[in-house]
Amino acid sequence: MELVLGTVQFGLAYGIAGSSARVDDTTARAILELAWASGIRTLDTAPAYGDIEERLAGLCEGLEFRTVSKVSSVGPRRRLDEAWLLHSLQQSLQRLGSRLSGVLFHHAQDLHGESGDRLWSLARDWTRSHGIALGSSGYTPQELRLLHQTHNLDFVQLPGNALDQRIQDHGVGTREVHLRSCFLQGLLLMPQPEAEHKLPVATPALRAWHTWLREHGLSPVTGALSVVKSFREVTHCVIGVDSPDQLSGVAHAWATAQPLPAPALSSLDLDVIDPRRWRLP
């Protein structure tokens, strides 16, 4: 399993435990240099992450990261069309150049139906002509598995962590599975009282999580990565950080964490495991 550095924090203030501002360029460069020195070779970005896709090549000067980006959204009232798809693909290539190694449809629903078939065919022809992998992001393994059966995805990205273990129960079947949200936007790393205050509905799950950590003598970072490493299909784990110190801690935990299944921690409560449904105080 390969560690991937996400860049959303470089473009947006992000996450329940994140800072109230995006990471500045000096700090972002320091994080990227440390990531390279730590053996990380892949970045994850998107046009939807503020302006980081257009800034990323400059921040990575001298560091030849492979980069996965996404087909940009056109807003909630418009469906993705062929003209916008080509614009998004060409814009990502222009911004990232030879660093662009893979593209994901940011919204799996864009690939539903006949229009989705046409979009996939167009994107497949374009990516093949540029030697770039093509896949889809999604929220559940079930939706991505169905897409893979009809579109033969090169890779997928979906959420998963100690509380959200749906990937372990259902699987997708693609060659590559990129797992995001392994820290559940930082909720799993927060002190227990603070986490319960931030998301009261998750209190029972968080109590079970912190009890499990104490029983195994693990820090939250190492515990979270140990559970993720036990997921059979996952090939890449996408993490995000706000500082070099955070990345140093994650990289050390990644190097030392051993796969440790924890099925008893799994929750199917979407109000807990899906940040889109969170109701924060």
Give the residue from 55, 37, 36 showing the smallest Cα distance to 45.
55
CATH number at residue 236: 3.20.20.100
The interaxial angle of helices 220-229 and 203-216, nearest 10 deg, is 90
* Residue tagged 């796969």 (tokens): 259
Q: Give the count of domains, the chain.
A: 1
pLDDT for position 22: 86
* Residue in 227, 261, 188, 241 with CA at minimum distance from that of residue 40: 241
Question: What token pair was written down for 36?
Answer: 């390279």
Q: How many CB atoms lie within 10 A of CB 220?
A: 21
Q: What is the CA radius of gyration of the chain?
A: 18
pLDDT of residue 77: 52
pLDDT value, residue 15: 56
**Token digits for 185?**
């936007």
Helical ranges in 163-243 per DSSP H:
166-170, 192-198, 203-216, 220-229
Range of the domain at 16: 2-277
pLDDT by position in tens, the chain (length 281):
999 999 999 988 765 555 567 899 999 999 999 999 999 999 999 999 999 999 999 999 999 999 999 998 765 556 789 999 999 999 999 999 999 999 999 989 899 889 999 999 999 999 999 999 999 999 999 999 999 999 999 999 999 999 999 999 888 999 999 999 999 999 999 999 999 999 999 999 999 999 999 999 999 999 999 999 999 999 999 999 999 999 999 999 999 999 999 999 999 999 999 999 998 77
Helix axes 220-229, 244-256, angle to 10 degrees: 50
